[in-house]
Amino acid sequence: MIETQEQSGDRQPEADIALIRNMMMAGRKRAGVDGAHLVLWGALLMGTFLMQYSSVVGYIPKMGPALWGGMMIIGWLGSFYLGRKIPRAHCEHNIALTGYTSAWLAVGITMAAYFITSTLSGQPDNRTITVLSAGTFGSAFFVISHVLNVKLLRFVAVGWWAIMVYMVQLKNFDAEILLVMGFACGPLILVPGLFLRRLAGSEQ
């Protein structure tokens, strides 16, 4: 009996490591599923920022909050469609899945709350929403880089924080900032989404 207990004790660390690895793999598979969402939102945000820039400088007719409201509706509908179409990885009490999902849920709640509140109050502020979005995106990517153990995503987080700092110290918030944000959405949202999808495929 003593020998059996010792053998069981020897196997316990291996079992724990296997459990952690399975949780990490499930998190990466979920990230691959949500990578499609990042590709969708990255493309939508890039297009919306560039359209707003074109509107501000006069290339196209003036477009107000309806532009962003329309983008958010399309994004949420697209995310709902992807969520129904692509099967998700499930694992009860999976810290990786919980942390990953919570990070992006916090981003969505924060941005939606600010957009709705500022629109209803008639006081939308481009600098505030830009700084807020850059900060929350950076925080989310930093969290999931640790949750999924993907160091590359930490550089994405640093990129968003660098944009946040840049925006804060600007004295004049002009139309060119919209170009910065538009082009940033490519390498800092769309490309990470493609990377996560490929990462999930490698775990199969």
Please provide the average confidence, as pLDDT, over all residues in the chain: 77
pLDDT value, residue 187: 93
Question: How many Å separate Cα 53 from the centre of its chain?
Answer: 23
Domain-wise residue ranges, the chain: 2-202
Q: What is the pLDDT of residues 74-127, one digit of tens each?
A: 988 887 787 676 555 554 556 666 776 778 788 888 888 887 888 788 777 778
Which has the closest alpha carbon to 193: 141, 127, 143, 146? 141
Average pLDDT over residues 175-197: 88
Task: Write out pLDDT tens, residues 56-88.
Answer: 888 888 877 788 888 888 988 887 787 676 555
pLDDT > 90 in the chain, percent: 18
Q: Does residue 171 sit in helix, strand or coil?
A: coil
**Residue 128 pLDDT > 70, yes or no?**
yes
